[in-house]
Structure 1
Amino acid sequence: MDSTTPTTGRPAVNGLAPTSGRLRVDGATLHYEVRGSGPLVLLIPGGTGGAASFDAVADRLAADYTVASYDPRGLTRSPLDDPDAPQRVEQHAEDAYRLLELLSPDAPARVAGCSSGAITALHLLAAHPDRVQKVVAHEPPLVEVLSDAPEHRALLIRVQDTLQREGLMPAAAIFAAGLQAEPTSPEPPAGLQAKPTSPEPLADTNASRTTPTPAPAEGPRAGSASPAPEPGAGARAGRPAPSTPSAAPVEAGGLPAEAAARVERTMGDMPYFLGRIVPSFMGYVPDLDRLQALSERLVLAGGVESRGEVPYRPAAVMAERFGTELVHFPGGHTGLSTHPDEFGALLAELLR
């Protein structure tokens, strides 16, 4: 049933010219991008950033690997056959599996995911361990593994109710506030914390990317402004708002055409993310016994600046349960965008 249609990629970055293609899967058509050569690394984005959120990191990894990134189903360049179709972690993980089958049919691949993309990566490992050599999961917002899970379920209900009654912006504000660290939030045992690094904050090297905000998969960051959707775009097909972390608003004026289009896509996908992805992904219950049995292939990670925040805590809890190290990346939930060089360097080290 799957089919692919390669297309011409965007201009080369650092001498690396990615190519893009379209993969037909059950209920959707995926947009994906590939660059470099060598063993496959599949990058699974969170929030509404799509493949573009990994551009700087992908260019770095492409010196040693074939690097694939993609827009998860339902985002602008990966349209659903049925815009109202419910979203499930299991189906998103199956999409990732189809990409592995297409791009690395004869060898297991390395996989990295951020936020909601990390949740997809964890289910992919549990469902298809023979196809995955290693997984790096950065801040999967799996609130069901937390001792205060009922509070987070109540938050998600409140967000969805506000979304339906008052719209995207009020709902995003409630969601962002609910992700903040509480003074009483439990910290992981000191012995489980990797020695943190504290690099100097760097400007985003990808001028076409918006400045993200933390949430379950790349959604609004606690305490940050919530982006407003492009008029009409976010509400296309009557979809509700999105759910994983997304990006903060950026002035499109003066941006190159490609950058402006990227900002437009990000804003337009916010309703889908908050309304369809967030409740499904944050409500997902992982198979902890299965993941523990596969923990030698799993790197759980958090941001050095996001200790105690809701998206950070599940990785700490799972690392404690599995008896593994919790690795700290530079920055917070969206360190991928705020510290791309350091983030990419550590990711390359962990994927070896």
Structure 2
Amino acid sequence: MRHPGRVRAVVAHEPPIPELLPDREHWRAAFQDIHDTYHRQGPGAAMQKFIVTVEGETGTPPALPDPSQLPPEALEMMGRIQRNLDHFLAHILLPVLRFEPDVAALRSGPVPVAVGVGAASGDGVPALSARVLAERLGVEPLPFPGDHQGLASDVAACAEIIHTAFA
């Protein structure tokens, strides 16, 4: 970290860390399958598998907005996201999901670490990982509204939760 004095606290909201999970080999195989699907069938098929895998069996994939109702800026953003899928699936997916944090360093570090979990999150990798990380850190997960994207959907409520947690 280049400027450690600027960080006063860390909130990890549903970090996808399957390496922390007891069935990590299952998750490794699942994400390898997504990566392989990308190479065999393209980004669309891979992302369908990715969403189901990340959301879990009880989760609900996020509803996609009606493009005809979106402002031009949002459409432009969605286009950039689509173009970045190839890079994500080819180069980012596996290294990120095979990362294992140094929990001892996080526990003994100079700043407090909180772990958030969306109240509407299912049993996919982000929520499961968050619960395991919180347990290993010895903290209670912070309940946030919504699901994995909840921080973006109710910013004011989330800001209050964070403020209260670190007050």
TM-score by length of 2: 0.84
- Report deviation, 1:161: 0.7
1:297 match: 112
Residue 324 to residue 181, structure 1, CA distance change in 2 (3 Å) = same
SS in 1 for 2:9: strand
- Report deviation, 1:223: 4.3
1:234 match: none
Distance of 2:121 and 2:88 partners within structure 1? 21
- Report deviation, 1:273: 2.4
- Mapped contact 1:252–1:263 kept (Cα < 8 A): no
Distance of 2:123 and 2:53 partners within structure 1? 12
- Report deviation, 1:178: 1.7
SS in 2 for 1:179: helix
1:224 aligns with 2:61: yes
Structure with the bigger RCO (C-alpha within 8 Å, sep 6+) is: 2
Distance of 1:263 and 1:280 partners within structure 2? 24
Residue 307 to residue 161, structure 1, CA distance change in 2 (3 Å) = closer
Q: Which amino acid aligns with 2:152?
A: S
- Report deviation, 1:255: 3.8
Q: Which amino acid aligns with 1:318?
A: L
Unaligned runs of 5+ in 1: 1-96, 102-106, 110-131, 184-221, 226-247
SS in 2 for 1:108: helix
Residue 349 to residue 277, structure 1, CA distance change in 2 (3 Å) = farther
| Richer in strand (by share) | 1
Residue 340 to residue 162, structure 1, CA distance change in 2 (3 Å) = same
- Report deviation, 1:318: 2.0
- Report deviation, 1:307: 4.9
Distance of 2:110 and 2:94 partners within structure 1? 26
Residue 143 to residue 108, structure 1, CA distance change in 2 (3 Å) = same
2:81 match: 266
| Richer in helix (by share) | 2
- Give the counterpart of 1:135 among 10, 17, 25: 10
1:154 aligns with 2:29: yes
1:318 aligns with 2:155: no
Distance of 1:255 and 1:307 partners within structure 2? 27
- Report deviation, 1:172: 1.0
- Deviations along 1:14-68, one digit per CA (max 9) or x if unpaired, are xxxxxxxxxxxxxxxxxxxxxxxxxxxxxxxxxxxxxxxxxxxxxxxxxxxxxxx
Question: Aligned ranges for residues 19-168 of structure 1 at < 5 Å?
Answer: 97=1, 101=3, 108-109=5-6, 132-168=7-43
Distance of 2:90 and 2:66 partners within structure 1? 25
Q: Which amino acid aligns with 1:258?
A: E
Q: Which amino acid aligns with 2:26?
A: E
Residue 324 to residue 296, structure 1, CA distance change in 2 (3 Å) = farther
Identity among equivalent pairs (%): 30
- Report deviation, 1:290: 1.2
Give structure 1 regions of 4+ aligned residues with deviation exceeding 6 angstroms. Answer: none
SS in 2 for 1:273: helix
Residue 292 to residue 172, structure 1, CA distance change in 2 (3 Å) = same
Q: Which amino acid aligns with 1:166?
A: Q
Question: Aligned ranges for residues 227-306 of structure 1 at < 5 Å?
Answer: 249-253=64-68, 255-294=70-109, 297-306=112-121
Distance of 1:300 and 1:324 partners within structure 2? 8
SS in 2 for 1:140: coil
SS in 2 for 1:302: strand
Q: Which amino acid aligns with 1:169?
A: G
Distance of 2:37 and 2:91 partners within structure 1? 14
The structure number with the bigger radius of gyration is 1
**How many residues are aligned here?**
167
Residue 146 to residue 255, structure 1, CA distance change in 2 (3 Å) = closer
- Report deviation, 1:251: 4.0
- Mapped contact 1:250–1:263 kept (Cα < 8 A): no
